[in-house]
Amino acid sequence: MLYFSKLRVFSVLIFTLVISYFTISNFTKVDDEFFSKNIKLGLDLQGGSYLLLEIDNGPVITQRLQSKVLEFKKFFKDKDIKVRNFVIEDKSIIFDVENSKIEDVKSLLDDDKSEINPYFQQYKSHQFNFENMDTSFKLEFSDYGLVLLKNSSLDQAIEIVRRRVDEVGTNEPNILKRGNDRILVELPGLDDPGRIKSLLGKTANLTFQFISSSSEESFGTEKLSFEDGSSEAIVSKRIVLSGDNLMDAKPTMNNQTNETVVSFSLDRVGAKKFGKATSNGVGKRLAIVLDGKIISAPEVREPIIGGNGQISGNFTFQSATDLALLLRSGALPAPLNIIEERTVGPDLGKDSINAGIMSLIIGFILVVAFMFYKYRFFGLIANLALISNLFLLVGILTLFEATLTLPGIAGIILTVGMAVDANVLIFERIKEELKNENNSIVAFDSGYTKSRTTILDANITTLIAAVILFFMGSGPIKGFSITLGVGILTTLFSVYFIARLITAYYVIKNKHKEKLI
């Protein structure tokens, strides 16, 4: 165990120096992306906001079922099968079929090549599962159908969320999928997430609908309230134009009224639709509806054909900017709920870094002093191993761009405390071996050999805990598991390569000295 080939000494040295370089690169400035790597600080250290959003897929499911009903009606009409009494209830479609065609419908729905109920070979699943009782059919999304639907609405939503966050212009936001109905948004450096939250909380479904002339709600109209809650109006359900046709929107000042407005421009299809509707509707009031609330309902004085328009509605410059941003980024497929929020102010982050570094330095000094007191020269060897261990640990974290969190710093300090264990096990074993063995080289060698399984056992147990924590933990805790786990690997390296190398040189040089350790 004490023999090292020249090649091995060389590679240990190079490896240690290269990795240690990345520890130092945290404190220096070099004009190269790779060589000036810095460790990434978690939100709890640099300050910032963590938001977990959940899609409320209920409305999407209903919407999808509605369009499916239309598809069904057309499909069966083409096949000359009479179906009736379509109802959407409890996330399923229910309809009746004429008696003679029950079997036909069944086979149409159950066929592997079904046009109306697609079959996914690799998942052995149709889009819909169905039940049949007498003449009645009940269809609901199969598990896989639901997953498909959720994934597509999540993909859309994440795109919209990204656009909105980017438009606000925070630095390096992190937007990730979580499961099939959640989005994680990390916003470093943002200590007041209020604005982003209000932007993400809006679906931003914009529609233009005419105000109905009748004062009673009837078929084809709905009652909507104004945004400011002042009054209500009966609005035609027919959508003249929706936000999908919007190309651009920005806040501007209306020169005539001196009011802040949002001006928008439409794409060609939208401009055409809008022009036609406004030509027919001169004199009527056109309601501008956002997420089921009327922003304003101006009277159409003349046809608007150019595809440009303005939305007024008692905006401040800020609220006009936000509305324009929402319209530009598009509507979310479904409402998003914020189900978890964690925000850390930048000065608390700074305080945490300082406290973390302080306790690392003090913990390190205490451990080093204690080891020197206990083992003298070999304490120095263990301490040297400990120092290179720290450099390797921080270097690897930097190199792999791991995120350092406050519990992560705690993990580094804990590694300092536990890392000496391996060297202690070895030294104690050597002491025992020296009692019955006069040749110190043999004693040192067997000290290393005999303690090896114990050291591996002891470290594997901690590594198991770290790995489980890595997979089960979130955010800051993950940071802890990373430093703890990587710390074990660097500990083993520093003990078996660095400390053993120095020990070997020392022992071979001083083999005739009494009381080596």
Partner 1 sequence: MKTIYFNKFYKSFNILSGILIIASLVFLVFKGLNFGVDFKGGTLIELRTDKSSANITKIRDSFNQMNLGDVSVKNFGNETDFVVKFEKQNSNDPQFIEEIKTKLSNSIGTVDFRRVENVGPKVSAELLRSGVIAIALSLAAMLLYIWIRFEWQFSLGAILALFHDVIITLGVFSVFSLEINLSIVAAVLTIVGYSMNDTVVIFDRVRENLRKYADVKIFELTNISINETLSRTIITSVTTLLALLSIFIFGGEILKGFSLAMILGVVFGTYSSIYIANPVLVSLKVSQRTIVKEEKE
Task: Rule CB under 8 A: say whether 48 interacts with partner 1.
Answer: no
Closest approach, Cβ 200 to partner 1, in A, equals: 9
> Which CB sits closer to partner 1, 204 or 277?
204
Closest approach, Cβ 184 to partner 1, in A, equals: 12
Cβ neighbours for 304, distance < 8 A, ≥ 6 positions apart: 274, 275, 278
Sequence-separated contacts (24+) of 279-283 with Cβ below 8 Å: 279/303, 279/305, 281/210
3-state secondary structure of 41: strand
Beta-carbon-side half-sphere exposure of residue 187 (alpha carbons within 13 Å): 28
Closest approach, Cβ 483 to partner 1, in A, equals: 11
- Please give the residues from 371 up to 410 whose contact with partner 1 meets the rule CB under 8 A: 371, 374, 406-407, 409-410
CB atoms within 10 A of CB 177: 14
3-state secondary structure of 49: strand
> Which CB sits closer to partner 1, 333 or 379?
379
Q: What is the distance, to the nearest Å, from the Cα of residue 440 to the centroid of all Cα atoms in its chain?
A: 57
Q: Which stretch binds partner 1 (CB under 8 A): 19-27, 278-286, 317-325, 466-474?
A: 466-474
Task: Rule CB under 8 A: say whether 96 interacts with partner 1.
Answer: no
> Which CB sits closer to partner 1, 324 or 413?
413
Which residue of 417, 449, 505, 508 would you call a contact of partner 1, by CB under 8 A?
417
The residues facing 183 across adjacent strands are: 53, 177
Q: How many residues bind partner 1 (CB under 8 A)?
A: 71
Task: Rule CB under 8 A: say whether 58 interacts with partner 1.
Answer: no
End-to-end CA distance of the chain: 17
d(C-alpha 16, C-alpha 249), whole Å: 56
Site string for partner 1, 438-457 (x = CB under 8 A): ---------------xx--x
- Please give the residues from 165 up to 184 whose contact with partner 1 meets the rule CB under 8 A: none
Closest approach, Cβ 429 to partner 1, in A, equals: 9
Closest approach, Cβ 356 to partner 1, in A, equals: 6
Task: Rule CB under 8 A: say whether 316 interacts with partner 1.
Answer: no
Q: Ramachandran region of residue 34, left (φ > 0), alpha (ψ -120 to 50) or beta?
A: alpha
- Please give the residues from 486 up to 505 whose contact with partner 1 meets the rule CB under 8 A: none
Q: Which stretch binds partner 1 (CB under 8 A): 104-112, 264-272, 277-285, 471-479?
A: 471-479
Task: Rule CB under 8 A: say whether 52 interacts with partner 1.
Answer: yes
By the 10 Å C-beta count (0-12 exposed, 13-18 middle, 19+ buried), 422 is classed as buried
> Which CB sits closer to partner 1, 194 or 306?
194
Closest approach, Cβ 377 to partner 1, in A, equals: 16
Contact 37, 408 (CB under 8 A): no
Handedness of CA 160, 165, 169, 174 (dihedral sign): negative
Closest approach, Cβ 458 to partner 1, in A, equals: 4
Task: Rule CB under 8 A: say whether 420 interacts with partner 1.
Answer: yes
Q: Nearest CA to 248 among 264, 262, 236, 270?
A: 264
Task: Rule CB under 8 A: say whether 198 interacts with partner 1.
Answer: yes
Task: Rule CB under 8 A: say whether 363 interacts with partner 1.
Answer: yes
Task: Rule CB under 8 A: say whether 418 interacts with partner 1.
Answer: yes
Contact 273, 240 (CB under 8 A): yes
DSSP 317-352: HHHHHHHHHHHHH---SS-EEEEEEEEE-HHHHHHH
Which residue of 85, 472, 505, 511 would you call a contact of partner 1, by CB under 8 A?
472
